[in-house]
Amino acid sequence: MDREEAYRKITDLLQELEEHNYKYYVLHQPEISDYDFDMKLRELEKLEADFPEFADPFSPTQRVGSDLSKAFEQVEHRYPMLSLSNAYSEEEIRDFDNRIKKLIGDGFEYVCELKFDGSSISLLYEQGKLVRAVTRGDGVKGDDVTANVKTIRSVPMKLRGNGYPDSFEIRGEIVMPMHVFEELNKQREESGEALFANPRNAAAGTLKMQNPSIVASRKLDAYFFSVMGEKLPEDGHYQNLRKAAGWGFKVSEAMKLCRNLDEVYAYLNKWDLERHKIPAGTDGVVIKVNSQQLQEELGFTAKSPRWAVAYKFKAESAATVLKSVTYQVGRTGAVTPVANLDPVQIAGTVVKRASLHNSDIIKKLDLHLNDTVFVEKGGEIIPKITGVKADMRHPMAKPVQFIDKCPECNTPLVRTEGEAAHYCPNDMGCPPQIKGKIEHFVSRRAMDIDGLGQETIESLYNHGLVKGIADLFTLKKEQLTELERMGDKSAQRILDGLEESKKAPFERVLYALGIRYVGETVAKKLAMEVFSIDNLKLKSKEELEEINEIGERIAESVVEYLSEPGHLEMIEFLKEQGLHFQISEEKISNRTDKLKGLSIVISGTFENHSRDELKQLIEQNGGKNVGSISKKTSYILAGENMGPSKLEKAEQLGVPIISEVDFMKMIEV
């Protein structure tokens, strides 16, 4: 793979994975399975390792997905809540075991625990009383949901017995029992509300509700899997959890100590068969080194502990009948075919629909209407068709033909060479695209406009109050208050959010426009290179390609977007409303080339600047923020608590380590 192809692939994966992260953690509307996400993430990790010059500090490989919400106070975790690396086969478990043995030798025990499928939580107890409950968030800080967690009956408010530390944290999974989930979806269906995709999403959504009394009515449950603190009673993870059970915590009885891999494999095989006997959803097994002393010795990578791995169960499969195929249009205009099936039970839930992804998949499967098809729930969430029982096909069955016109606006579809998806090009007149672009525009990482959720945008569109992004800035309070469930305070919050959004810098406005392939990083790069939207409009495709990291596909997309009269008209209107379409004079005047050509990795915490401030200073002075260390890294800017793995790699590669003081001297006038 050449550099340009690698850059295009990395850019595409960055944008795709960030979108899936947002839908998973913020909207609780996952579109792909855990397995498919992990495979894409692994592909991105490999590409970033092979082409470190294209590594992005905002890459999904560098962070834990975020479920932060502005509606809750954010609290920093005393101990980071990292994600686990995943394994999907016994061979991968053996590889994990071999890595452990190379570092610490033999003679240790594993603990195997069922991996409950819910929402992670960290509870702080002091003097035997619950003080705070915090979601995982971005792994560094999370949302304080103490009031909601107190409604969960399996969470002790005061501890039982004795022997617990004066202060400690315990981590677990908030789950919705299967029977509660099914009853909740039945009620939602009867009242015409959208159904939850699965118990995990239902638990996560419930935990972030503003009304604790509704949370209490949802009958959430909790299982605990890790005790953390400085003065724990035992060295063994298993032993501390058994103690925690005596203090009043719900600890799974399925937890087991294993002395070797054979016992681990026996545990995996047992629960692969028996997992549906558990009242809450499980999607795998977590395998941990038992000794906390050995855990400390093994340490962490950038985003996961070396001493633990999550084994994911294989997807369950069932046969059913394909009744019809319908088509959905996304924000970018991509058209996704959806298979409508005879209802069939898989992995504890009834499946009626499955994604077919694109026309190539339909051709590959050779799908015909009324075919008997095999359906899997990849990662226990998103169903997909994996095969067809062709010998059961009726001789007169009609093949499934991919549509050639948009199902929403009847515009002829297009398919770009080298891409799998068909697109509707009518981005300013196709209803799902219009609503999707508005949702993107108001999202947290774009314009961050409070109060404008999916339902409100749907209502605004259906009432004819908005037909595009620009119409948001013409809304009046009296129009908003006429909407169902929209009070005076909610309406004012939206208007205040719109006014506040006018302070957003040019790079965020550019990202918010929703130009295909222009993610956050690309938008920032373009903004700092061209300074204004007017300059960007003047750039040819070839001129854009001359900008470092801007490839042919991005350049083509930007030129195409800015040649559309409707887009230009919208941009001019947004300018008149006061949105920023140029870099501030201050940013331009402060820009230097003092760090030009330097790639800098930031690690640890700092006394005088936040990590985000340091990243801005690096970019402002012509440098590049890099998330991982390689031979091409120029410096590591290190603060307190620098990650041990980064320190070790820096020493191996001979990368210079500089302090905050050293860095400021490098950029001072």
State whether the Cα torsion 136-138-141-147 is positive or negative.
Answer: negative
List the Cα angle 227/232/238 in 5-degree steps. Answer: 55
- Residue 212's CB: how many other CB atoms inside 10 A? 15
- Strands 308-312 and 624-626, sheet pairing: unpaired
Active-site residue, from 115, 303, 525, 624:
115
The Cα 321–Cα 368 span in angstroms is 10
The Cα 147–Cα 94 span in angstroms is 43
- Strands 221-228 and 422-423, sheet pairing: unpaired
The Cα 237–Cα 398 span in angstroms is 58
115 has catalytic annotation: yes
Closest CA relative to residue 634, chosen from 610, 607, 602, 606: 602
Give the bridge partners for 338, in sequence order: 326, 355
Decide if 164 contacts 224 (C-beta within 8 A): no
The Cα 633–Cα 641 span in angstroms is 20
Q: Which helix (H) or strand (E) holds 226?
A: strand 221-228
The Cα 370–Cα 367 span in angstroms is 9
Closest CA relative to residue 466, chosen from 440, 430, 432, 434: 434
Q: Identify the burial level of 269 via C-beta atoms within 10 angstroms of its C-beta, where 0-12 means exposed, 13-18 middle and 19 or more buried.
A: exposed
The residues annotated with a catalytic role in the active site are 115
